[in-house]
Amino acid sequence: ASSRRRYPLDLLRLVQTHRTPSPPLPSDPPLAMADLAAAAPRAPAPPQPPPAAKDLFGETIEAHPPWFRPEAFLRAGFDPDAYVAELRSYVPLESLAAELRSHLAALRAELVGLINRDYADFVG
């Protein structure tokens, strides 16, 4: 004989039918157009740049290797061929290409950040 007790199905039905009903939820009034405009999501604030990384002695760690100088691109009369030829003498071409891709991605991200920051002025 099993020591486990079985409950009749009638008891289960009794418990299920005598549950207290939940109170009805209040219906919200319809929103006016002004309410919808006020509730519209706002553009997120542009992300803040992370603090500069510092080494063990508190010196700022450069984001680029010492041989990569982004300010060179801003000089009047910049010659990309001469720049690459100069660096190729001591920098592997793969490293230079990777650094240029990284710099391009950073410039694109900065451009998107500037556009998002000034979007209201740009549209208005």
Query: Cβ(47)–Cβ(113) under 8 Å?
Result: yes
Report how far Cα 37 is from the mean position of its chain's Cα atoms.
Answer: 25
Between 62 and 107, the higher pLDDT residue:
107
φ, ψ for residue 60, nearest 5 deg = -70, 130
Give the separation between CA 25 and CA 113, rounded to whole angstroms.
Answer: 44
Q: Give pLDDT tens digits for 75-103.
A: 999 999 999 899 989 889 999 999 999 88
Residue percentage of the chain with pLDDT more than 70: 48
For residue 108, the model assigns a pLDDT of 92
Listed residue (120, 122, 124, 123) closest to 42, CA to CA: 120
Number of helices (H), then strands (E), belonging to the chain: the values are 5, 0
Domain spans of the chain, in order of start:
68-124
What predicted TM-score, i.e. pTM, was given to this entire model? 0.47
